């Protein structure tokens, strides 16, 4: 049976979603300017829509987009050169550099001929990989505030529209558009070169990329605002980015550790809310709903990370904790002692109040509620988590285990008051009520 339904715009959207990172990355390298790269990318999309509607979708739509985008970029460079403008933030100011860049782009042949007929099959996969990687490094530059990095990555690497990103983050479209424009200006003003970071900067820059993806995932996993408990779109994009990163950099413990962590966390997405969208906590989750494929991918990444034999960082330790949950047949059968030990390790490299809080929760689950409560008191004395809903939720939990229901109810009530997420708020209020019965 032959299908005749073939919506051009829909196809373009699908192709763009798959190829935007490679194309924008290639344009950014060619032009050394993110704003111009993005403008040309958008222009290419318009040209494609018009052309494909008139002449049908080409056989290799991704290649078509890449060639058209590069041609537009070359045209722009040529125009600028004719007007005697500087070709970019310094990189192309020198005529010989410009020629060299073009020559290396298209080995041999004169420009016109190349522009007319460019064989996409000559763009090697490793070159595409480098372009994607370079784009991730640029978008997550430590110079940018974290929320801008995430917005840039979603726009330029994931190829999402400003509308989609604004909706997921529950901010006005104009706010988000401004955030992206400002970020691009910052990068261009600082004349950040469009190159993979040199070896000595690489770890620091990579750390910034990983942090941004982690932030993106968490924002989707526990939406801090609004009525929805999760924002699957954000989680999904973070997963995609981290999988892509792990395919491009397969020998870094932190990259593989983060990939493992996100696979494990994502494996529980379907079990983390009921059909009405209410949060379901780990203890109550139906483990049959956990995604076995993602868990296996988590195990796979984690064993590859450990197999590298380098120092174990915080992502691997967190992934190790998630692996303990993934392996446990039930909440009660979880190896809480192992989890506490992993938190001990995590606390060594990341001595934050939140890690301490999570360790205290694990202690309580391991049957040491008294020690856990003492820990929570100690955290409270430091006054760092006084506005943090999960702190009071944990406190309620431990007090409930100790049979101190009245105090537990008060803690749950406080947690509910602090939570900005309506779905979470509902669950906490119910727990507070249950303690008073």
Partner 1 sequence: MSWMLIIREERGQRDTRSEDEGKAVYGEMLNFGAALAQRGVLLASESLRTDDSAVRIQIRDGDTRLMDGPFTESREMVGGFFLLDVVSKEEAIEIARQCPAAKFATVEVRELAPCYQK
Q: State the residues that interact with partner 1 by CB under 8 A.
A: 10-11, 13-15, 17-19, 21-22, 60-62, 125, 128-129, 132, 233, 236, 239-245, 247-248, 293, 297
Among residues 60, 53, 35, the alpha carbon closest in space to that of 187 is found at 35
Decide if 303 contacts 259 (C-beta within 8 A): no
User: How far apart are CB 388 and partner 1 at their closest, in Å?
Assistant: 32
| Residue number with CB closer to partner 1 (295 or 393) | 295
| Residue number with CB closer to partner 1 (57 or 380) | 57
| Residue number with CB closer to partner 1 (14 or 434) | 14
User: How far apart are CB 267 and partner 1 at their closest, in Å?
Assistant: 12
User: How far apart are CB 55 and partner 1 at their closest, in Å?
Assistant: 17
Distance CA 435, CA 437 (A): 6
| Residue number with CB closer to partner 1 (297 or 431) | 297
User: How far apart are CB 244 and partner 1 at their closest, in Å?
Assistant: 3
Q: What are phi and psi of 421, to 5 degrees?
A: -100, 120
| Distant-in-sequence, close-in-space partners of 129: CB < 8 Å, separation ≥ 6 | 247, 248
Decide if 329 contacts 295 (C-beta within 8 A): no
User: How far apart are CB 10 and partner 1 at their closest, in Å?
Assistant: 5
User: How far apart are CB 205 and partner 1 at their closest, in Å?
Assistant: 19
| Residue number with CB closer to partner 1 (143 or 271) | 271
| Distant-in-sequence, close-in-space partners of 357: CB < 8 Å, separation ≥ 6 | 376, 379, 385, 388, 390, 391, 394
Q: Count CA atoms within 13 Å of residue 270 on its CB side.
A: 10
Cα→Cα distances 10→60, 64, 158, 237, Å: 16, 16, 17, 19
User: How far apart are CB 261 and partner 1 at their closest, in Å?
Assistant: 16
| Residue number with CB closer to partner 1 (123 or 340) | 123
The C-alpha torsion from 377 through 380 and 385 to 388, rounded to 10°, is 60
User: How far apart are CB 326 and partner 1 at their closest, in Å?
Assistant: 16
SS3 per residue for 120-162? HHHCCHHHHHHHHHHHHHHHCCCCCCHHHHHHHHHHHHCCCCH
| Residue number with CB closer to partner 1 (234 or 357) | 234
| Residue number with CB closer to partner 1 (262 or 362) | 262
Cα→Cα distances 307→71, 304, 348, Å: 44, 5, 22
């Amino acid at each position: 049976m032959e299908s005749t339904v073939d919506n051009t715009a829909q196809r373009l959207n699908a192709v763009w979603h798959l190829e935007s990172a490679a194309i924008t990355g290639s344009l950014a390298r060619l032009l050394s300017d993110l704003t111009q790269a993005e403008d040309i990318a958008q222009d290419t999309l318009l040209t494609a829509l018009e052309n494909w509607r008139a002449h049908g979708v080409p056989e290799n739509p991704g290649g078509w987009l890449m060639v058209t985008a590069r041609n537009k970029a070359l045209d722009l460079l040529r125009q600028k050169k004719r007007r005697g403008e500087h070709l970019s933030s310094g990189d192309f100011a020198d005529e010989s550099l410009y020629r060299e860049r073009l020559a290396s782009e298209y080995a041999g042949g004169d420009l016109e001929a190349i522009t007319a007929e460019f064989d996409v099959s000559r763009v090697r996969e490793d070159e595409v990989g480098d372009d994607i990687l370079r784009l991730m490094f640029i978008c997550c530059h430590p110079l940018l505030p974290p929320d801008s990095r995430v917005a840039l990555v979603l726009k330029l690497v994931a190829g999402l529209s400003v509308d989609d990103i604004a909706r997921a983050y529950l901010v006005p479209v104009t706010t988000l558009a401004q955030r992206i424009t400002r970020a691009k200006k910052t990068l261009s003003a600082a004349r950040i070169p469009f190159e993979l970071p040199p070896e000595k900067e690489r770890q620091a820059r990579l750390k910034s990329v990983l942090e941004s993806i982690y932030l993106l995932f968490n924002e989707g996993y526990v939406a801090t605002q609004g009525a929805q408990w999760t924002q699957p779109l954000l989680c999904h994009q973070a997963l995609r980015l981290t999988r892509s990163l792990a395919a491009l950099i397969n020998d870094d413990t932190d990259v593989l550790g983060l990939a493992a962590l996100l696979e494990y966390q994502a494996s529980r997405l379907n079990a983390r809310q009921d059909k009405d969208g209410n949060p379901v906590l780990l203890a109550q989750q139906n483990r049959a709903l956990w995604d076995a494929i993602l868990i296996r991918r988590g195990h796979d990444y984690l064993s590859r990370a450990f197999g590298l034999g380098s120092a174990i960082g915080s992502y691997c330790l967190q992934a190790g904790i998630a692996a303990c949950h993934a392996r446990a047949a039930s909440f009660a059968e979880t190896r809480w002692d192992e989890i506490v030990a992993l938190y001990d390790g995590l606390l060594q490299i990341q001595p934050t109040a939140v890690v301490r809080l999570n360790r205290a929760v694990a202690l309580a689950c391991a049957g040491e509620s008294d020690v856990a409560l003492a820990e929570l008191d100690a955290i409270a004395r430091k006054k760092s988590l006084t506005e943090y809903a999960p702190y009071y939720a944990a406190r309620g939990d431990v007090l409930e285990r100790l049979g101190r229901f009245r105090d537990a109810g008060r803690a749950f009530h406080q947690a509910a008051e602090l939570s900005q997420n309506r779905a979470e708020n509902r669950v906490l209020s119910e727990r507070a009520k249950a303690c008073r019965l």
